[in-house]
Structure 1
Amino acid sequence: MLTQNKRLVAIGWLMGICSVPASAESLEVECVTASPCKTESPQPLWEVGLAGGIVYGPDYPAAGQSHTNQIALPYLIYRGEVIRAGEDGLLKAQAFEDDRWELDLSLDGSFNADSDENDAREGMEDLDYLFGIGPELKYKIYRADDEQTKLDLKLQARAVFSTDFSNLEQRGYAFEPQLRYEHDNLFGREIRFVGTVGPVWGTEKLTDYFYQVDDRDVRPDREAYDANGGYMGTDVGFGLVFTLMEKRARVFLGGRVSFHQGAENEDSPLFIDETTYAVGLGFAYRLFASDRMASN
């Protein structure tokens, strides 16, 4: 749900989080997941390995400039019945699930942005790393008989926090309903395709973080602006995951287009582009895995 900047957990993108609607340079595409395409064979209960990637995207929603960030880190995937890490979200605690509904507690994060590298924000405070935590309610609209094709409606609400690792501040709340389509074994190969689309709303405290211009930040080409909470834009994303080397390695390719036309804070001097784009490429290589298989 967060979204664009050097974000705190680039690894979150690599593991498949959509990030918070908020900042910059991390793909807001929940489709790029480290988990391999589903097959009839069970998967290990846990696995650890190395993951890395490069993401190019806007510094914040409707920013006029984009930057590139890269990261390489160890990763963990745990496929427990209640607690799950590294699949479809950085961390998920499942509270309820049946044939149609699933309720989780999820956590995600995103990168920061240097204001001195952005013309519109020059001289303003930097945008810190962001992370969000909150409930996610999933409605399972469609499941193919072989479970290889899925369509879900996900209702996500998260409290958003910023940090520079010396302090922590609450930045409001974000609500992001999302339609997600997933298809495994594309073209009969171990390729997963995921497409997502969904609008994003933020409370005033969150939109202040991106669009507010206080008196101390006013200059001839940047007027004071009091941001309002409301609609921030709609994101359309896609992702492809290629499983290689007998499931030991995965390569991900993802992209996102964000449409900010009609957003609540279009009049902010920090609101520059109505349409922004992000792309990313990543990998994950499994080093160790448990002998015990996950139950689902």
Structure 2
Amino acid sequence: MMIKVAFICFLWALLATIVMAKEEQTLPKWEFGLGPSLLSYPDYPGSKEQNNLILPFPYITYRSPSFTINQREIKKPLYTYRNVELDLSLSGTVPVSSKDNAAREGMEDLDASAGIGPVIKVGLYQNELNQVKLEWPVRWILATDFRSVHEEGFVTSPGLYYYYRQNFTHKQRIKITLQINANFATAKKNNYFYGVKPSEANATRPAYRPTGGFSGMLYGMSLNWHIGDYWVGAFYRLRDLSNTVFENSPLIETTQSETFGMTVTWNFYTSNETVQGLE
């Protein structure tokens, strides 16, 4: 197994040495907007309980050579060299009330959590505005009930991202992102979400404690479309939990978990000042 991983890493490193002809877009430095957003997500990956929300969504974008805010991330590279970038990676989950989830009834609630850690991004290929990147984050998971904070292990999710970009007119541009990630987590992280203590076991939910290791594949796509003063954003992510180290947990009701959403905003302010970069 280690030989295979080393060989794959070697191929990625080899591809990363390819000299790429880079092209950039002319983009507004600031953009502000507001609009409705629809979001659908499971209580946790593997749960059949799906939540649907309609929320106001603030569109805030700031671009500069050293700092960027967009709908996906707050980005300030810690280190860059040619097509390699070291950055800070963030993630999060919402709290889950066990009394509202049939599989977790009688168990402790799942607190809100945040993951933070480094991410390395390697440009593997660029053709005009289109890119293929390897992104490999490692995150430390902290959970909180807003009274105390507890540490819940580490996760990593190396993945390949394909970015398709097209400029149609001065105020119309589109970006489509495709991604595939392999997810891994420590035993502590897997146990927090999928473990069952002996005191929480019952006739249909036996005690269970998973190990660390493979925690599923993630397949995703997203749309970022500017049309005049409007912005349309949409995404879809499928989490496949087949063959994970916790697949036999009594808390796994399905091995296919879907998260998706859509937003339309009216961008009422766009700066005249522009920067060179990529959406």
TM-score, normalized by length of structure 2?
0.82
How much has 1:73 moved relative to structure 2? 4.3
Which string of whole-angstrom CA distances, capped at 9 and with x for unpartnered residues, describes residues 155-211 of structure 1?
111111222333322221110001101111289963321111011111112111111
Match of 2:166 among 168, 180, 185: 185
2:210 is the alignment partner of 1:237: no
Which string of whole-angstrom CA distances, capped at 9 and with x for unpartnered residues, describes residues 59-110 of structure 1?
2122233222333243532223233222541x22201223321111122323
Match of 2:194 among 211, 231, 239: 211
State which drifts further: 274-283 or 233-242.
Answer: 274-283
- Equivalent residues of 1:200, 1:232 under 8 A apart: yes
1:261–1:160: structure 2 CA closer, same or farther, 3 Å change rule? same
- Equivalent residues of 1:186, 1:193 under 8 A apart: no
Match for residue 76 of structure 1?
60
1:1-296 correspondence to structure 2 within 5 Å: 40-44=25-29, 46-50=30-34, 52-89=36-73, 91-144=74-127, 146-147=128-129, 149-185=130-166, 190-244=173-227, 246=228, 248-296=229-277
State, as a whole percentage, how many aligned pairs show the same letter.
28
Match for residue 13 of structure 2?
none
Q: Distance in 1 between matches of 2:90 and 2:31?
A: 20
1:84–1:190: structure 2 CA closer, same or farther, 3 Å change rule? closer
Could you say which structure has the larger radius of gyration? 2
Unpaired segments ≥5 residues, structure 2: 1-22
Which string of whole-angstrom CA distances, capped at 9 and with x for unpartnered residues, describes residues 200-228 of structure 1?
11111211111111122112111111122
Which string of whole-angstrom CA distances, capped at 9 and with x for unpartnered residues, describes residues 143-166 of structure 1?
11x22x111110111111222333
Q: Distance in 2 between matches of 1:157 and 1:134?
A: 6
How much has 1:238 moved relative to structure 2? 0.9
SS in 2 for 1:294: strand
Higher strand share: 2
State which drifts further: 125-134 or 195-204.
Answer: 125-134
Q: Distance in 2 between matches of 1:169 and 1:69?
A: 28
How much has 1:237 moved relative to structure 2? 0.7
State which drifts further: 227-236 or 109-118.
Answer: 109-118
Q: Distance in 2 between matches of 1:190 and 1:236?
A: 24
Q: Distance in 2 between matches of 1:133 and 1:210?
A: 18
How much has 1:124 moved relative to structure 2? 1.6
Match for residue 26 of structure 1?
none
Q: Distance in 2 between matches of 1:262 and 1:278?
A: 20
For this pair of structures, how many residues does the alignment match? 253
- Equivalent residues of 1:82, 1:95 under 8 A apart: no
1:39–1:256: structure 2 CA closer, same or farther, 3 Å change rule? same
Which string of whole-angstrom CA distances, capped at 9 and with x for unpartnered residues, describes residues 4-45 of structure 1?
xxxxxxxxxxxxxxxxxxxxxxxxxxxxxxxxxx9743321x
TM-score, normalized by length of structure 1?
0.77
1:100–1:290: structure 2 CA closer, same or farther, 3 Å change rule? same
1:67–1:87: structure 2 CA closer, same or farther, 3 Å change rule? closer
SS in 1 for 2:94: strand
How much has 1:290 moved relative to structure 2? 4.2
How much has 1:51 moved relative to structure 2? 5.0
